[in-house]
């Protein structure tokens, strides 16, 4: 009898404590459709030390720039895009959000506040489920992996460290990242801390994009590939899961076809301006590759398999937000 009474009282206290409580919310926020992204605007933004897309959050302010609703959900709920089930148009309609954090807030409060904003402005309702999902398994190819062991180990990002010249910062669903873009030679380096480093470089003559990974584990490599191809619409929207059983940190590189990347991005509502070639330059049709071909070039391959994946199911969401 005493045990039952104690249990009842504990439950009563928890119920009373929780009653009337609500999620944290931004003090004030504006939500506007993103204007078209053009080359001049991107360059100006980068030169000012700010990324033209993504999240920038501190203890007093949160900005989400040129992000579709699916991407906003990744920030709000800490999931990856492949874990979200909802209308296809969520990945094409983009918004800019500028919000003021309440006094005394910390950066870690932002996801819950973004949830509140999406629920209020877009009438969002969701639930979680664990379902069987098609994934790509990253495995060793027939001839074995062609990976170079890293000479260095990745280092966690210190958010308090001042930015270096030409460097900008961005907050991703998986944590902070530092980005350095060199507009002159068409290259960028993304430092994701313990997950390793990823860099891109455009080759106008061959119309390819050189992608390099360094200091990554195979699981980190799979995660970064998933994010890379989620951003440009490749990989069929699936998660890439490491099943190589390869330990250690490695470097790898491959070339991707720029026309293919632009086509994948356009399918996701992202218009990438064509990269001009030199007058009279011939483009090698055999340069660049698909995701599967890129993996083959470094002795790996992707196999379609099924796996149980945690899913965020969007039950309802409006296309147009409630007025600011």
Dihedral angle, C-alpha 243, 245, 247, 249, nearest 10 °: -30
Q: Is the pLDDT of residue 279 over 70?
A: no
Enumerate the domain spans of the chain: 23-131+311-316, 133-274+282-308
Contact 141, 312 (CB under 8 A): no
**Helix 258-267 × helix 218-232 angle, to 10°:** 70
Instruction: Answer yes or no: are the C-beta atoms of 195 and 216 closer than 8 Å.
Output: yes
Rg of the chain taking only CA atoms, in angstroms: 22
Residue range 45-73: average pLDDT? 84
Region 288-293: mean pLDDT is 72
With cut-offs at 50, 70 and 90, classify the pLDDT of residue 202. Answer: confident
Closest CA to 54 of 33, 75, 85: 75
Residue 125 has pLDDT above 60, yes or no: yes
Tell which residue, 176, 194, 228, 168, has the closest CA to residue 44.
168
Q: Give the pLDDT score at 16.
A: 43
What pLDDT was estimated at residue 26?
Answer: 95
Cα-based angle 129, 130, 131 (whole degrees, multiple of 5): 110
* DSSP for 50-71, written as a single string: --SSEEEE-SSEEEEEEEEHHH
Question: Using 50, 70 and 90 to split pLDDT, how confident is the model at 257?
Answer: confident
The mean pLDDT value for 151-171 works out to 83
Between 55 and 276, the more confident residue is 55
pLDDT at 110: 93
DSSP state of 48: T
Coil, strand, or helix at residue 245?
coil
Give the mean model confidence (pLDDT) for residues 256-278: 67
The pTM of the whole model exceeds 0.75: no
Rounded to the nearest integer, the mean pLDDT of the chain is: 81
**What is the DSSP secondary structure assignment for residue 51, as one 8-state letter?**
-
pLDDT of residue 17: 44
Q: Are 156 and 195 in contact (CB under 8 A)?
A: no
pLDDT of 98 strictly over 80: yes
Q: Over pLDDT 90: what percentage of the chain?
A: 34
Candidates 318, 312, 311; CA nearest to 134 is 311
Per-residue confidence at 18, pLDDT binned at 50, 70, 90? Answer: very low
With 0-12 / 13-18 / 19 or more C-beta atoms within 10 angstroms meaning exposed / middle / buried, residue 114 is buried
Where does the chain have alpha helices with state H? 2-18, 39-47, 69-77, 110-121, 218-232, 258-267, 291-297
What residues have CB less than 8 Å from 236, skipping those under 6 apart? 134, 136
Report the pLDDT averaged over residues 277-291.
56
Beta strands at 300-316 and 84-85: parallel, antiparallel or unpaired: parallel
Angstrom distance (rounded) from CA 228 to CA 154: 19
In 114-166, the DSSP E strands lie at: 125-140, 148-149
Residue 284 scores a pLDDT above 50: yes
Q: CA–CA separation, 207 vs 287, rounded Å? A: 8
Average pLDDT over residues 77-105: 90
Of the candidate ranges 118-127, 177-186, 291-300, the one whose mean pLDDT is the lowest:
177-186
Residue 186 · residue 192 · CB < 8 Å: no
Q: Return the half-sphere exposure (C-beta side, CA atoms, 13 A cut-off) of residue 244.
A: 26
Is the pLDDT at 19 greater than 50? The verdict is no
**CA dihedral over 260, 262, 264, 267, signed as positive or negative:** negative
Look up residue 91 and give its DSSP letter.
Answer: G
> pLDDT value at position 230?
65
Query: What's residue 8's pLDDT?
Result: 56
Contact 258, 275 (CB under 8 A): yes
Q: Is the pLDDT of residue 120 over 70?
A: yes
Q: Does residue 287 have a pLDDT over 60?
A: no
pLDDT at residue 318, as a whole number: 96
């Amino acid at each position: 009898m005493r045990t039952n009474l104690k249990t009842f009282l504990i439950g009563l206290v928890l119920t009373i404590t929780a009653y009337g409580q609500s999620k944290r919310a931004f003090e004030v926020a504006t939500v506007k459709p993103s204007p078209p992204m053009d080359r001049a605007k991107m360059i100006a933004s980068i030169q000012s030390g700010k990324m033209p897309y993504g999240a920038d959050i501190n203890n007093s302010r949160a900005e989400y720039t040129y992000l579709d609703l699916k991407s906003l959900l990744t920030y709000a709920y800490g999931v990856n895009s492949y874990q979200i089930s909802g209308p296809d148009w969520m990945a094409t309609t983009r918004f800019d959000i500028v919000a003021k954090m309440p006094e005394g807030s910390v950066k870690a409060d932002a996801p819950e506040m973004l949830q509140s904003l999406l629920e209020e402005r877009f009438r969002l309702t969701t639930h979680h489920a664990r379902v069987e999902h098609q994934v790509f398994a990253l495995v060793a190819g027939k001839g074995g992996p062609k990976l170079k062991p890293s000479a260095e180990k990745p280092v966690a990002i210190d958010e308090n460290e001042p930015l270096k010249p030409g460097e900008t910062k961005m907050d991703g669903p998986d944590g902070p990242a530092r980005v350095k873009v060199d507009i002159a030679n068409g290259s960028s380096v993304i430092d994701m801390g313990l997950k390793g480093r990823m860099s891109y470089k455009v080759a106008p003559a061959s119309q390819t994009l050189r992608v390099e990974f360094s200091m990554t584990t195979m699981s980190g490599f799979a995660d970064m590939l998933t994010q890379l191809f989620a951003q440009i619409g490749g990989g069929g929207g699936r998660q890439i899961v490491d099943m190589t059983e390869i330990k250690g940190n490695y470097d790898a590189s491959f070339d991707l076809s720029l026309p293919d990347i632009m086509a994948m991005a356009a399918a996701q509502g992202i218009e990438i301006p064509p990269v001009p070639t030199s007058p009279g330059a011939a483009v090698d049709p055999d340069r660049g590759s698909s995701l599967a071909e890129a993996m083959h070039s470094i002795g790996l391959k992707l196999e379609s398999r099924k796996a149980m994946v945690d899913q965020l199911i969007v039950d309802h969401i409006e296309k147009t937000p409630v007025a600011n």
